[in-house]
């Protein structure tokens, strides 16, 4: 009897949880396949053709050294003391190598100055090998830069800068020379890594896959990983993964959070935030001090001097903002309405939320970034 009652309670809880879940989402929006990932590559290069906005080689010696080494490989031997360059800049070139990319395909690259160049606008990146963390060359970049920033200066010292002129991009600016092996799971299974680890979401993914493909196909390893049995043949596995990523799943609700950006005053309140009964009164106190200068003029026969005296006036003004009451279990909509009713600014809202958290009335994580 007791066991049957426990089972009934679990069924009721499961039914309530299912009704409270969020709209269905595809597995491809909730998780990624383990092993299917980008790889970062980086290289050191030289940008030439700048209109006098390059590095000052007297202050950035490695730029001059790079040019000398490049010219030496071309059979030239420039004198180190006589070279004065203004149209060259030393840069770092970075890119992401997507999964399954093959040799001969093109990828975008980002070029950023590492010297004291004023602008890279109009520059041309010379052939730059891009290496991975293992030291192997995976791509070669070259081409004309697209720079969204602008830098202009006058002889009188005035200067105007728009956006960032010392960084740019080259669309399809690198040719892939080496492919990165991609391991899509083990011999008999693939693994789904959740973008936001959550036990409820992992459990729901397991249920949805087993319901469509049969019991025992999927197994939730932990709150962030789901193991799925998959065929070993490469062609069959690709088709299997295509079906797998389009399965609709009800994700679990995230934890209650309030995120505060202290620098910008931005406050984001999650939908699951709740507040216990609390009364809040928040007002502003303004103190003003005003000095009035008055002239003291003695009588003609008094023999005194004319002096200036200061008359200080101090005023205190306190805004009479009404207190507002939070009933137990109020929702996000109630919080926003109450704060807007008293005309609180973002900084005021931050102070109110911190006070509620300290009082134990805010049932959420308060995260300050």
In this structure, is residue 238 part of a structural domain? Answer: yes
What does the alpha-carbon distance between residue 52 and residue 66 come to, in Å, rounded to a whole number?
A: 18
181 token code pair: 């092996």
Last residue of a domain, one of 124, 156, 176: 176
Structure tokens at 236: 């069959």
Are residues 143 and 98 part of one domain? yes
Mean pLDDT of the chain: 79
Total of domains in the chain: 3
157 against 74, higher pLDDT: 74
Q: How far apart are CA 117 and CA 54, in angstroms?
A: 4
Q: What single-letter DSSP state applies at residue 121?
A: T
Domain termination site, one of 123, 145, 176: 176
Q: Are residues 237 and 263 in the same domain?
A: no
Q: What is the pLDDT of residue 343?
A: 65
Rounded mean pLDDT of 305-325? 61
Each residue of 275-297: b (16+ CB within 10 Å) or e? beebebebeeeeeeeeeeeeeee
Our measurement of the distance from residue 244's CA atom to the centroid of its chain's CA atoms, rounded to an integer in Å, reads 29
Question: Global pTM?
Answer: 0.67
Domain assignment of residue 357, given as a range: 257-295+307-368
Query: Above 50 in pLDDT, residue 361?
Result: yes
Do residues 128 and 205 share a domain? no
In this structure, are 219 and 342 located in the same domain? no
Residue 266 and residue 153 share a domain? no
Domain end marker among 176, 202, 235:
176
Residue with tokens 């080689």: 57
CA distance 219 to 227: 5
- Give whole-number Cα distances, 347 to 90, 115, 266, in Å: 43, 39, 9
CB-CB contact of 187 with 232 (8 Å) = yes
Residues 195 and 318 in one domain: no
Rounded distance between C-alpha atoms, residue 349 and residue 339, angstroms: 7
Please check whether residue 368 is in contact with residue 260, taking contact to mean a CB–CB distance below 8 angstroms: yes
How far apart, in whole angstroms, are the C-alpha atoms of residue 307 and residue 281? Answer: 48
Please tell me whether residues 338 and 290 are part of one structural domain: yes
Nearest CA among 247, 267, 244 for reference residue 257: 267
- The answer on 263 and 350 residing in a single domain is yes
Query: In which element (H, E) is residue 204 found?
Result: helix 199-213
Note the pLDDT tens digit of each residue in 57-99. 778 888 888 888 888 888 877 665 556 678 999 999 999 999 9
């Amino acid at each position: 009897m007791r066991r049957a009652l426990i089972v009934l309670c679990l069924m009721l809880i499961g039914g309530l949880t299912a009704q409270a879940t969020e709209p269905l989402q595809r597995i491809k929006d909730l998780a990624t396949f383990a092993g299917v990932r980008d790889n970062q590559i980086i290289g050191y290069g030289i940008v030439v053709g700048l209109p006098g906005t390059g590095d000052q080689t007297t202050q950035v010696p490695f730029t001059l050294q790079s040019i000398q080494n490049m010219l030496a490989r071309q059979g030239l031997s420039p004198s180190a003391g006589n070279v004065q360059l203004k149209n060259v800049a030393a840069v770092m070139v970075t890119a992401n190598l997507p999964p399954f990319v093959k040799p001969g395909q093109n990828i975008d690259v980002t070029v950023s100055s590492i010297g004291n160049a004023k602008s890279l606008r109009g520059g041309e990146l010379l052939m730059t090998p891009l290496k991975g963390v293992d030291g192997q060359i995976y791509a070669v970049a070259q081409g004309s830069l697209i720079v969204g920033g602008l830098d202009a200066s006058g002889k009188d010292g005035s200067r105007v800068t728009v956006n960032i002129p010392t960084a740019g991009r080259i669309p399809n600016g690198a040719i892939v020379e080496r492919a990165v092996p991609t391991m899509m799971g083990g011999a008999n299974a693939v693994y789904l890594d959740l973008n936001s680890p959550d036990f409820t979401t992992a459990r729901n993914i397991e249920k949805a896959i087993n319901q469509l493909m049969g019991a025992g196909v999927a197994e939730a390893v932990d709150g962030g990983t789901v193991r799925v049995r998959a065929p070993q043949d490469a062609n069959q596995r690709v088709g299997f993964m295509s079906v797998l990523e389009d399965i609709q799943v009800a994700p679990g609700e995230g934890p209650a959070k309030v995120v505060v950006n202290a620098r910008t005053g931005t406050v984001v309140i999650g939908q699951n935030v709740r507040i216990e009964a609390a009364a809040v009164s928040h007002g502003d106190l303004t103190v003003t001090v005003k000095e009035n200068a008055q002239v003291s003029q003695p009588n003609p026969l008094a023999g005194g001097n004319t002096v200036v005296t200061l008359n200080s006036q101090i005023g205190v003004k306190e805004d009479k903002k009404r207190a507002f009451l939070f009933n137990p279990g109020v929702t996000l909509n109630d919080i926003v309405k109450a704060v807007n009713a008293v005309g609180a600014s973002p900084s005021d809202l931050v102070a109110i939320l911190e006070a509620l958290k300290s009082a134990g009335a805010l049932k959420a994580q308060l995260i300050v970034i």
